[in-house]
């Protein structure tokens, strides 16, 4: 059996953290057996190294090793990918196809992100683990396979089980041996070692001297939380290697490459909502009504200002009810180019606190003549402003879009 140090060198694993060493030792010990293994740990900790170690140290090392990212395969095709399908079993199945479990017979299959498997696929996988049998999609014939399964996940499996997203019996079959890889923030002593390794690799790749960190920069690096773990550290080392001209990196310069903790990766926070979100449809409706009220009040104020200035004195004399018509027209929103139709109402709308009362009425006897008065008013305003619609609309207290629509409607 190879030593721990030899395994690290063979698979390019950097670090001496006790938790990392313990995980590697478990992988080495379980490798000669056919026991199913579940590798757990956060995204970016290097879980893909464990199944490779297990396969290459097992009696299956000369057979196929297939890695499958379960989260990257669409739900409708994952059964076909894993177990194969018969010709004509579904649209597009123009020929029979062997799945991974048939191709890897005698070897090892690594199921990454196994927690993303659909429940129907989990049932099929459980059957493979229990008796080594599977059925192709569209077939009724049972086939045998001798495959060792190593799975990995970055989700909390107990939570997934409690929410009904993962079968409990499948979890216990997969996790006969569970190997947990620690996050990078718990391997503080390995952080600088990894950075130096990445810096050296990128120096060779891009044919330039490797970057180095000052003592203060090393402390900053080791105190950073690294939510993206080793993957994030590698990306930072590559960016610094390419961008920085000075090959000695200070702590101030390093901080520019370290994103704020918790903001660079997506996360799911249960039962929390933004304070700006409305908790019910009723509140949304209230907001719409309040916005409409503000728009109407703005139009009222504009109309009254025009009347008091005397620029539409004739309007006041000819038809007082025309004011009601003006602030019941469509209100053009200059920012979103949307229109809100203000409906004529005879009812009184009141909120519970009397702060949002507004009432509009139209006299039935007078409303019949409003259209003629409106046409006459528009003609006079256009004549007075030499057919300049923008000035006429401003004088009338309506939007230019509304005026244009009325001109077209009345064929003026």
Domains and CATH numbers, the chain: 4-182 (3.40.50.300), 186-255 (1.10.8.60), 281-410 (no CATH)
* CB atoms near residue 247 (< 10 Å): 14
The answer on pLDDT for 263 being more than 50 is no
d(CA 57, CA 49): 12
Question: Which of the two residues, 304 and 128, has the higher pLDDT score?
Answer: 128
Tell me the average pLDDT of the chain. Answer: 81
d(CA 113, CA 100): 16
Residue 54's pLDDT band, with cuts at 50, 70 and 90, is very high
Note the pLDDT tens digit of each residue in 154-193. 999 999 999 999 999 999 999 999 999 999 999 999 999 9
The answer on pLDDT for 227 being more than 90 is yes
State the DSSP string of 45-78: S-TTHHHHHHHHTSTTTTS-EEEEEGGGS-TTTH
pLDDT of residue 19: 95
pLDDT of residue 374: 80
pLDDT of residue 267: 39
Find out whether 327 and 342 touch, Cβ atoms under 8 Å: yes
**Best CA proximity match to 47, nearest among 181, 171, 193:** 181
Residue 273's pLDDT band, with cuts at 50, 70 and 90, is very low
d(CA 332, CA 406): 14
Residue range 291-311: average pLDDT? 68
Query: Which residues of 58-210 form beta strands (DSSP E)?
Result: 65-69, 84-85, 97-98, 108-112, 133-135, 142-144, 148-153, 177-180
Range name among 12-21, 63-72, 136-145, 336-345 with the lowest pLDDT average = 336-345
Range name among 34-38, 198-202, 241-245, 383-387 with the lowest pLDDT average = 383-387
d(CA 314, CA 289): 33
The answer on pLDDT for 305 being more than 60 is yes
pLDDT of residue 44: 93
pLDDT of residue 312: 52
Range name among 41-45, 150-154, 270-274, 315-319 with the lowest pLDDT average = 270-274
Residue range 226-230: average pLDDT? 94
Residue 28: its H or E element: helix 18-30
Question: Which of the two residues, 106 and 282, has the higher pLDDT score?
Answer: 106
- pTM for the predicted model, two decimal places: 0.62
Residue range 326-341: average pLDDT? 43
pLDDT of residue 403: 82
d(CA 263, CA 228): 11
The answer on pLDDT for 14 being more than 90 is yes
% pLDDT > 90, the chain? 58
pLDDT of residue 382: 85
* CB atoms near residue 39 (< 10 Å): 30
pLDDT of residue 82: 95
d(CA 384, CA 308): 18
The answer on pLDDT for 208 being more than 50 is yes
């Amino acid at each position: 059996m190879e030593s721990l140090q030899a395994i690290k060198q063979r698979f390019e694993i950097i670090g001496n953290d006790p938790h990392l060493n313990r995980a590697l030792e478990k992988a080495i010990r379980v490798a000669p057996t056919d026991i199913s293994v579940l590798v757990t740990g956060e995204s970016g900790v290097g879980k893909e190294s464990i199944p490779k170690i297990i396969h290459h140290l097992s009696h299956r090392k000369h057979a196929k090793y297939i890695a499958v990212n379960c989260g990257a395969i669409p739900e409708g095709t994952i059964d076909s990918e894993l177990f194969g399908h018969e010709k004509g079993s579904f649209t597009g199945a123009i020929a029979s196809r062997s799945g991974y479990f048939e191709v890897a017979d005698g070897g090892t299959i690594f199921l990454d992100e196994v927690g993303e498997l659909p429940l129907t696929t989990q049932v099929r996988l459980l059957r493979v683990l229990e008796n080594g049998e599977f059925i192709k999609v569209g077939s009724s014939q049972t086939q045998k396979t001798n495959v060792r399964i190593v799975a990995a996940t970055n989700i909390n499996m107990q939570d997934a089980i409690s929410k009904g997203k993962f079968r409990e019996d499948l979890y216990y079959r997969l996790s006969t041996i569970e190997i947990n890889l620690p996050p990078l923030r718990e391997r503080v002593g390995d952080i600088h070692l990894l950075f130096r390794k990445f810096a050296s690799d990128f120096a060779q790749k891009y044919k330039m001297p490797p970057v180095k960190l000052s003592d203060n920069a090393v402390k900053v690096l080791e105190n950073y939380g690294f939510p993206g773990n080793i993957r994030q550290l590698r990306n930072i080392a590559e960016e610094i290697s390419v961008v920085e001209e000075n090959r000695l990196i200070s702590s101030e310069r390093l901080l520019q490459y370290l994103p704020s903790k918790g903001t660079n990766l997506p996360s799911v926070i249960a039962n929390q909502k933004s304070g700006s979100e409305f908790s019910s449809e009723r509140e949304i409706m209230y907001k719409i009504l309040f916005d409409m009220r503000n728009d109407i009040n703005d139009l009222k104020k504009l109309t009254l200002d025009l009347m008091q200035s005397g620029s539409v004195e004739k309007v006041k004399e000819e038809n007082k009810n025309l004011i009601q018509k003006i602030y019941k027209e469509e209100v053009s929103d200059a920012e979103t180019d949307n229109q809100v139709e203000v409906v004529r109402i005879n009812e009184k709308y009141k909120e519970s606190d009397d702060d949002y009362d507004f009432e509009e009425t139209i006299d039935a006897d007078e409303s019949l003549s409003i259209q003629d008065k409106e046409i006459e008013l528009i003609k006079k305003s256009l004549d007075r402003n030499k057919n300049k619609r923008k000035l006429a609309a401003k004088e009338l207290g309506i939007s230019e879009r509304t005026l244009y629509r009325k001109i077209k409607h009345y064929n003026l």
